[in-house]
């Protein structure tokens, strides 16, 4: 017979928390936002495109309170002003740095703008969001930051030098911030997705030879869906991960094990 009294709260529950998710309108960001909402979190969703209404509607249907913001993270002055304004107005408990950009081309001919544009969004914007949210989390004595890394945080890839460099850097940044902020009750971790069916991988999936090469190395035998990544973010955002600091949780169908 169960004991008297209320059932204990789930260690994965996020009721009463507010999560800020960048790049939330599609792909992995959208799936993470919906996963967090299903776990009880309210949402502050950012995108550089007018694509947040559908995910906001779906999250609201789960009971989440949702605020949306159109923001181009590549625009440094606008980004900095908006981030400070949003974090002053909303006590963010969870930050998910998901927004990302990829450009492809042979390194010997790689254009300057393709280097700087990718690093601006993937690294500089992510650091500024971490810095602004982390400063407030440290002052409050709690908070969770989840950066979205990549398999190319561990490998070199092909013809994506700026993306690979930025994703290696995100792992280093995650560990550096974890070292500083763990004593203040702030968890900084990363999720490293494998090959996921998103707009970022359209070129790979459209190339039958490359797609077959990739599938042949994935023990799970399939590309990931964005929803496959959401649970890892929910875990890292939850009380279940309170003693997890500076970790990179790989969600790759076994790719690195192969």
237 has pLDDT over 50: yes
1 has pLDDT over 80: no
For range 48-63, the mean pLDDT = 97
- 18-257 has which fold? Rossmann fold (3.40.50)
For range 3-27, the mean pLDDT = 85
Q: What is the pLDDT of residue 2?
A: 40
For range 235-247, the mean pLDDT = 98
67 has pLDDT over 80: yes
Please, what is the average pLDDT of the chain? 95
For range 151-165, the mean pLDDT = 97
203 has pLDDT over 60: yes
pLDDT class for 199, splitting at 50, 70, 90? confident
Residues with catalytic function: 163
What interhelical angle do 112-119 and 161-181 show, nearest 10?
Answer: 30
Q: What is the pLDDT of residue 166?
A: 98
101 has pLDDT over 90: yes
For range 36-62, the mean pLDDT = 98
Domain boundaries, the chain: 18-257
């Amino acid at each position: 017979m169960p004991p008297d009294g209320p059932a204990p709260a789930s260690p994965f529950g996020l009721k009463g928390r507010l999560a800020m998710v960048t790049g939330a309108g599609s792909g992995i960001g959208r799936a993470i936002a919906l996963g967090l909402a299903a776990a009880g979190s309210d949402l502050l969703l950012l995108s550089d495109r007018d694509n947040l209404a559908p995910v906001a509607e779906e999250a609201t249907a789960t009971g989440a309170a949702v605020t949306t913001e159109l923001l181009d993270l590549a625009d440094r002055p606008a980004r900095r002003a908006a981030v400070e304004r949003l974090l002053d107005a909303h006590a963010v408990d969870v930050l998910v740095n998901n927004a990302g950009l990829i450009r492809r081309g042979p390194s010997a001919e790689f254009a300057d703008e393709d280097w700087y544009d990718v690093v601006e969004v993937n690294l500089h914007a992510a650091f500024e969001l971490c810095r602004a949210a982390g400063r407030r989390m440290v002052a409050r004595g709690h908070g969770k930051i989840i950066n979205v890394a990549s398999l190319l945080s561990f490998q070199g890839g092909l013809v994506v030098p700026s993306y690979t460099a930025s994703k290696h850097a995100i792992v280093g940044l995650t560990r550096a911030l974890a070292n500083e902020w763990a004593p203040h009750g702030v968890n900084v971790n990363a999720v490293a997705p494998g090959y996921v069916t998103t707009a970022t991988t359209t070129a790979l999936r459209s190339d039958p030879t490359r797609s077959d090469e990739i599938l042949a190395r994935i023990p799970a035998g399939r590309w990931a869906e964005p929803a496959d990544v959401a649970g890892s973010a929910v875990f890292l955002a939850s009380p279940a991960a309170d003693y997890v600091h500076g970790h990179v949780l790989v969600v790759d169908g076994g790719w690195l094990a192969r």
